[in-house]
Structure 1
Amino acid sequence: MLFIQRFVEFAHAFPEAPAIVDASSELSYGELYKQAQRLVEVIESTSSGSMIGVLMEKSVDYITSVLAIHLSGRTVVSLDRNYPVERLRQMVTSIDLSLCLLNEQEYDELNVMLDQGIRSLRIDKPTAPSADNDSVEIKPETLEEIPAYVVFTSGTTGQPKPVMVPYRSLSTLIDWMLKAPGRAGTTLLYAAQGFDVSFQEIYSALCYGDRLLVITDEQKKDMHELTREMVSAAVTRLFLPTSMLIPFVTFNLHDSQVLDDLQEVICAGEQLKINPVVRQWFKAHPQCQLINHYGPAETHVVMEHRLSSEPEDWPDLPPIGKITQASTAFLLDDHLQPVLQGNIGQLYIAGRSLALGYYGMSAQTAEKFVTHPQTYERMYNTGDICVLNEQALFEYKGRRDRQYKIRGYRVELKEIEIVVADSELVEDCLVVARQFGRTTTLVLYFTAQDRDQDLSMRLHTHLTTRLPDYMLPSFYKKISAIPLTPNGKVDLQKLPEVGGLRSLISTSYVEPHGELETTVCELAACCFGLDRLGANDNFMDVGANSITLISLLAELRYVLAYDFRQTDLFEYPTPRLLCATYQRSLDTTQQGAPTVVPASSRKQRLIAIQRFQEKKGG
């Protein structure tokens, strides 16, 4: 059954059941369906095109727009309002977008961004009275091979690649996630617009009677607000980017009973890593199961591994799991021949989960979607290197190309290099992904004629207007030449080290004073992937990003038992400034309170962090 049919059936059967809630409104299934149905009529009277853009903050309006587009049998193109305008323009012009839905918040911005040939529709404006039809006609036989949504992935051409995912693929995923009968739960809409997981969140909830909780991007980035919203709404299921798992559980470890409604944490986006804090949190929350999902945008989720044993027995790097229903996995060599069990091979996926290909990119589609030489099945070459272990579970072992997952998003390093070259500021450049601390960080090496001028800021400004935040390098390094091996390939071993060593930062090192400053400097250095951090080092200048800052907040809360806010790291952006405001707060509200937790606990925590970093090779 098509996913949109499941939603309609439930809305007809249980119209009074709560369906969705955001900061300003709450709708039942019947109300949500009627609201989407009215929007269908407006869309159909406005445009006959198949691809409909949605550019607005996550809200009830956003969900209504997605439902209306699918009820009309068309294709959703979610546009993230946080992307640079130039990036959005690239995305819009790469496909046949006929109409874009927006609300009042986005209207002025959209007029600047969109081409004149694309019509926009304000969904918050009053429309003609609806005929209030009982239902919208859905024709499943004609929709299976129609794109349900388009998501954009990084490409080697310098342009984002539009992946067309059909109704058949998303329906297969939602069928597989069939929920057992029982008490309805609440799913948090965490994923960003345009990220395929968001469609999984929406329909895995609304097709089976769960309530969908919609929060803003600001609430998502603030651990205090995120936790408060989850507790208030009694969230039972959380889809979480893998890069956010450790900060999330670290932040909430002290409050062992706060999230006692949470039953599932589903991670995806990059390789799942387990550390002592993750084990400790799940041991304290035995009602909650950790689930690892795997699948690129071209297949969505095709593997799952549920960590069901005792947390202390979990491996540091869990398997990506077993193949889901209606899909097939092959491990093949360079000649598309199967490898023996226990040997590594390239992972290929076949079955009903496959995307249609890349819109307007027939050559790239033919390169990645190939035919199995024996079974003649259409397969997608994931580019991932895997092995099938003795328990018949697939384990991820890396990649052979220059594609990486950064904060859950796929990034082709070549795309960044092309955008750098377009700046005309450099002669040559190379982007390298390094493991610093807990995150994969991008480093830009470049050569330029002007040996004296520092081009780092100019390059960064150029990139911020063209690339999303997760594709921006954290470090810029001018070098005399890109080192090559005798056969002409880049010699990564000869590239100078960037990041990791405090001595490579241009500002003078100031030693921390006292136990409090030392503790904060140690924690920040660990989170940012540095060997040490000075008391006056600015967090932004040493390569911090949104994920590592959230990690630092979580660590500070764990070690100091104090709730710093995200804004504190920008208002007090050095360890010394942060410690000063922390001490002032203690002097005001808790006379005589210790400045840090007992030394033994603090040292045990830092030792645990250090061991975790050593295991990861950080």
Structure 2
Amino acid sequence: MRRNPDAVAVEHGGPTSYRALADLAAECGSLLRAHGLVPGSRVGIAVPRSLPMIAALIAIWDCGSVPVPLPSGGAARHVRRIVENCEARLVLTTDPKYASDGITPTVWAPYSVAVPHEPVPPVPITASDTAYILYTSGSTGTPKGIVMSHGAFAGTVDWQVRSTAATHAGRVPRQVQFTPLTFDVSLLEIFATFASGGTLLLPDESHRRDPALLLDMMARSRATSIFLPHVMLHAVADAAKARVGEHLPPLRQLLTGGEQLIVTDQLRTWMRNTPGCVVQNIYGPSETHVVTSHILDGDPASWPALPPIGKAVSGATLRIVGENGEPVATGETGELHISGPCLADGYLGAPELTAQRFLTDGTAVGRTYRSGDQVTDLGDGTLQYVGRIDGQIKIRGAVVDPTAVEAVLTEHPEVRTCAVVARERMPGQKHLVAYVVPTNPMRILDGADLTVEHGDTVLHRHLLDRLSEWSVPDTFVFLESLPLGSSGKINRAALPEPPRRRSTAARTAETRAETPAETRLIRIWSRLLNLDDVGTRDRFFEIGGDSVLLVRLQKEIVGEFGMEVRIADLIELATIQAIASRLSGGDEEGGPATKDRQSGDRRAAFRARGRQRRAGNRDQQEQ
């Protein structure tokens, strides 16, 4: 901020200079101090992606305090556990539900410019002070807070600044702030950009959900760097495959991580049409932040389908060890142990868990974090990710422990025992399935051996109120008993595949197709959701749909009907009946087009967007 205070720090609806951002942070700091904030205290932050969110982070640090990001839309009980566990002095939010849910004390944002404040020098911060606390699900479903120091975080920021500079040829970055604040990459996006003197670009939520709109936003704002989780990376690559020239953002650095990167033909095409851009595959648990990096550059045709996670970055020392902690030979698989100044301090208020994961062996290595990840050294220090060693899995980029889900599920009085496993709905796309033996055998519906329910069941609500969204199964299969192996343990391999038909109780909203458009949409939904009994009034997210499938749904509707449909439209309409009605020009309940002028206007807008997109594609192909 001091180097060039008039440079643009943030773009969101308009430019904001570093000087103006500092002023807003000072106003926020005065508000927080007026509510009793003191150095060392913790502040829950639940502010949507906006200028006030950025200012709040700076203000909390300037007060010598610690930000604790809270999950957006999280269940009240889950959020309350976090607030109580970290002993937050304040919760800064724009959402009135925090006060109504009894999560107090609450401070409202954004902040009025009329708030009087005297300039207060920032509280001095040392490397050992806490920079932030991020919460993930623990082994029993209880949130665990990862305590990261300023020294550890500053080292990661320094690495990212140098990494970005190497790809930008002397230009300052224009970084899209894509990830949610509860994901550690978000803080790297923000503060590495500011440390570089660059500009942070804040997309609206509608842009984050829709790959085509995100590409449009990136092109308009001349974005040069973005981090995309693998799922969104593939969706954006698919949307970018028909674009060239000014219709594509001038990216220099495309970062990704969180799961095994798969290089698709669409990604190769996008990068081939974006000369000078590199793909940077990064890896690191939240307990260490980024510890490896691998750059894909040159001809995309030469890139491997499954790239490695790369070599150690500065500040990280990596070892691969066997079951007894012994080093493994090059080319063999073992658990990745991480040491160095990049390590978090541990888990807040959980000394036993900290001791289990952060080892101190008295050697020169010092503290070591057991990652639980299996890797292989390819021979030159480049690591290939293999998988988890502890049965944990990754759902939408987040690590999920099935045993944690099982522990919470068995707390429900209707559950005698259960097993939670991951299934692939389609190649590379995992979702959770819960197999439940109910305490009351009458819960085995329809007299069948097993049934399946999707969506808003009692058990689904029970879990959603206690766990993060990605940890909640979208499918529940009820069994008379779980299959056991000879040792008496659950034979998970013998658990049946979920049926393609749902139970009678779960089909209350089902109705038959009455129009050709509904028939075509049912066919698409059935294929995506792997169900045979989709009804026109079923709601997409209540019968197994998720954000990943929503992107696929949008693509298939565009291909089937030749009309451009936004992700936001599909979220709003939710059912086949409503979508078909609007596509056909009727009202949202299936009436004729003449009954609803607004639906007719929206249908025209659908078709206009489709014509514009196809015309734009033809123009690009002719250039």
Into which bin does the TM-score normalised by the smaller protein fall? 0.7 to 0.9
Distance 1:536 1:391, change over 3 A: farther
2:201 is aligned with 1:249: no
Check conservation: 2:42, 2:65, Cα contact below 8 A: yes
Q: Which moved more, 1:360-369 or 1:575-584?
A: 575-584
Aligned residues: 574
2:142 is aligned with 1:154: no
Identity of aligned residues (%): 27
Instruction: Encode CA deviations 1:178-225: one digit per residue, 9 max, x unaligned.
Output: 243622332111111211111011011111111111233343113343
State the SS of the aligned residue for 1:33: helix
Q: Which has the higher contact order (CA 8 A, sep 6+)?
A: 1
Check conservation: 2:335, 2:371, Cα contact below 8 A: yes
Q: Partners in 1 of 2:37 and 2:513 — Cα distance? A: 64
State the SS of the aligned residue for 2:5: coil
Distance 1:129 1:580, change over 3 A: closer
Q: Which of 186, 198, 205 is equivalent to 1:210?
A: 198
The 5-angstrom pairing of residues 348-363 of structure 1 reads: 348-363=337-352
Instruction: Encode CA deviations 1:138-184: one digit per residue, 9 max, x unaligned.
Output: 34xxx211210111111112201100011011100111112436223
Q: Which of 112, 121, 124 is equivalent to 2:111?
A: 124
Distance 1:126 1:275, change over 3 A: closer
The one-letter code of the counterpart of 2:210 is D
Q: Which moved more, 1:501-510 or 1:250-259?
A: 501-510
Distance 1:205 1:554, change over 3 A: farther
Check conservation: 1:346, 1:385, Cα contact below 8 A: yes
2:262 is aligned with 1:279: no
Distance 1:411 1:589, change over 3 A: closer
RMSD, aligned α-carbons: 3.4
Instruction: Encode CA deviations 1:537-592: one digit per residue, 9 max, x unaligned.
Output: 9544542112211233245446766421224435665678756754669996999x
Match of 1:300 in 2: 289
Match of 1:564 in 2: 565
Q: Which moved more, 1:386-395 or 1:464-473?
A: 464-473
Match of 1:439 in 2: 429
State the SS of the aligned residue for 1:63: helix
2:238 is aligned with 1:238: no
Q: Partners in 1 of 2:275 and 2:567 — Cα distance? A: 29
Normalising by the residue count of structure 1, what TM-score does the alignment of the two structures yield?
0.84
Check conservation: 2:141, 2:466, Cα contact below 8 A: no
Check conservation: 1:251, 1:557, Cα contact below 8 A: no
Q: Partners in 1 of 2:219 and 2:7 — Cα distance? A: 20
Q: Partners in 1 of 2:262 and 2:514 — Cα distance? A: 31
State the SS of the aligned residue for 2:329: coil
Distance 1:574 1:122, change over 3 A: closer
The one-letter code of the counterpart of 2:249 is D
Match of 1:386 in 2: 375
Q: Which moved more, 1:252-261 or 1:67-76?
A: 252-261
Check conservation: 1:56, 1:80, Cα contact below 8 A: no
Match of 2:251 in 1: 262
The 5-angstrom pairing of residues 420-569 of structure 1 reads: 420-437=409-426, 438-453=428-443, 456=453, 457-498=457-498, 502=500, 527-528=528-529, 530=530, 538=538, 539-540=540-541, 542-557=543-558, 562-569=563-570
Q: Partners in 2 of 1:151 and 1:261 — Cα distance? A: 32
Check conservation: 1:474, 1:543, Cα contact below 8 A: yes
Match of 2:279 in 1: 290
Check conservation: 2:409, 2:463, Cα contact below 8 A: yes
State the SS of the aligned residue for 1:36: helix
Q: Partners in 2 of 1:173 and 1:292 — Cα distance? A: 15
Q: Which of 102, 111, 121 is equivalent to 2:99?
A: 111
The one-letter code of the counterpart of 1:551 is R
Structure 1 unaligned blocks of 5 or more:
1-10, 599-618
Q: Which moved more, 1:350-359 or 1:572-581?
A: 572-581
Q: Which moved more, 1:34-43 or 1:333-342?
A: 34-43
State the SS of the aligned residue for 2:314: coil
Q: Partners in 1 of 2:520 and 2:254 — Cα distance? A: 31
Q: Partners in 2 of 1:367 and 1:207 — Cα distance? A: 35
State the SS of the aligned residue for 1:94: helix
Structure 2 unaligned blocks of 5 or more:
446-451, 586-599, 615-623
Check conservation: 2:211, 2:232, Cα contact below 8 A: no
Instruction: Encode CA deviations 1:284-328: one digit per residue, 9 max, x unaligned.
Output: 223322111100100011111111142222222110111100111
Check conservation: 2:502, 2:533, Cα contact below 8 A: no
State the SS of the aligned residue for 1:278: helix
Q: Partners in 1 of 2:432 and 2:606 — Cα distance? A: 42
Q: Partners in 1 of 2:384 and 2:139 — Cα distance? A: 26
Q: Partners in 1 of 2:270 and 2:531 — Cα distance? A: 27
The one-letter code of the counterpart of 2:4 is F
The one-letter code of the counterpart of 2:127 is E
Tell me by how many angstroms 1:70 deviates: 1.6
Check conservation: 2:27, 2:115, Cα contact below 8 A: no
Check conservation: 1:443, 1:477, Cα contact below 8 A: yes
Instruction: Encode CA deviations 1:374-394: one digit per residue, 9 max, x unaligned.
Output: 544211001001101134310
Check conservation: 1:521, 1:532, Cα contact below 8 A: no
Q: Which of 70, 80, 88 is equivalent to 1:97?
A: 88
Match of 1:68 in 2: 59
Check conservation: 1:251, 1:558, Cα contact below 8 A: no
Q: Partners in 2 of 1:159 and 1:587 — Cα distance? A: 47
The one-letter code of the counterpart of 2:68 is V
Normalising by the residue count of structure 2, what TM-score does the alignment of the two structures yield?
0.83
Check conservation: 1:439, 1:548, Cα contact below 8 A: no
State the SS of the aligned residue for 2:147: strand
Q: Which of 5, 8, 32 is equivalent to 1:18?
A: 8
State the SS of the aligned residue for 1:177: helix
Q: Partners in 1 of 2:511 and 2:362 — Cα distance? A: 60
Q: Partners in 1 of 2:223 and 2:360 — Cα distance? A: 43
Instruction: Encode CA deviations 1:586-613: one digit per residue, 9 max, x unaligned.
Output: 996999xx99x99xxxxxxxxxxxxxxx
Q: Which moved more, 1:157-166 or 1:276-285?
A: 276-285
State the SS of the aligned residue for 1:296: coil
Distance 1:47 1:535, change over 3 A: closer
Tell me by how many angstroms 1:330 deviates: 0.6
Q: Partners in 2 of 1:433 and 1:285 — Cα distance? A: 36
Q: Partners in 2 of 1:560 and 1:289 — Cα distance? A: 35
Q: Partners in 1 of 2:103 and 2:284 — Cα distance? A: 33
Distance 1:262 1:122, change over 3 A: closer
Distance 1:30 1:587, change over 3 A: closer
Q: Partners in 1 of 2:574 and 2:59 — Cα distance? A: 44
Distance 1:398 1:248, change over 3 A: same
Match of 1:201 in 2: 189
Distance 1:522 1:316, change over 3 A: farther
Distance 1:403 1:204, change over 3 A: same
Q: Which of 202, 208, 221 is equivalent to 2:209?
A: 221
2:393 is aligned with 1:404: yes
Check conservation: 1:234, 1:261, Cα contact below 8 A: yes
Q: Which moved more, 1:464-473 or 1:195-204?
A: 464-473
Match of 1:616 in 2: none
2:177 is aligned with 1:189: yes
Instruction: Encode CA deviations 1:443-490: one digit per residue, 9 max, x unaligned.
Output: 111111333335951111222333332222121100112222222322
